[in-house]
């Protein structure tokens, strides 16, 4: 199972882990569309209700097609199969957030350098990084 899926699983299963890591996780860190949709559902549901009824929130999302919805439900069902060490999980989650933030900053900078971002100039790159 990937670190992304382990993170998602533990966001649902462990309240303390969720409270410690959710503020640092961002949608764009999840490149897989299914994982991104599940993360968005977890985040919005925790922010609104702080409960375990994740599938209800997912059912209300009308912006995803049936195939992605079913993949999300399958992914959520897999969550109970994961039980990593808490210390390892926090360390790996922190590394995941750092890696994804650096990757996104580099990709954003490349877009600016290539002239494909008409909102930001090359002067914005140091701040992005």
pTM above 0.85, yes or no: no
Tokens 């969550």 -> residue? 79
Q: How confident is the model at residue 51 (pLDDT cuts 50, 70, 90)?
A: very low
Q: Rounded mean pLDDT of 93-105?
A: 92
Q: What confidence score (pLDDT) does residue 40 get?
A: 94
Q: Which residue has the higher pLDDT, 7 or 76?
A: 7
Average pLDDT of span 95-100? 92
What pLDDT does residue 77 have?
79
Confidence at residue 53, expressed as pLDDT on a 0 to 100 scale:
64
The secondary element (H helix, E strand) that includes residue 9 is helix 3-13
**How far lies 13's CA from each of 94, 101, 102, 113, in Å?**
18, 25, 28, 42
CB atoms within 10 A of CB 45: 20
């Amino acid at each position: 199972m990937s670190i992304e899926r382990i993170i998602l699983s533990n966001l649902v299963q462990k309240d303390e882990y969720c409270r410690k890591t959710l503020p640092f996780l961002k949608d764009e860190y999840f490149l897989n569309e299914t994982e991104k949709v599940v993360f968005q559902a977890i985040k919005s549901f925790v922010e609104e209700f702080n409960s375990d009824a994740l599938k209800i929130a997912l059912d209300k999302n009308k912006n995803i097609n049936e195939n992605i919805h079913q993949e999300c439900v399958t992914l959520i069902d897999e969550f109970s199969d994961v039980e990593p060490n808490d210390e390892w999980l926090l360390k790996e989650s922190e590394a995941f957030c750092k890696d994804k933030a650096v990757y996104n900053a580099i990709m954003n900078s490349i877009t600016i350098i290539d002239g494909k971002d008409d909102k930001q100039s090359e002067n914005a790159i140091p701040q992005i990084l």
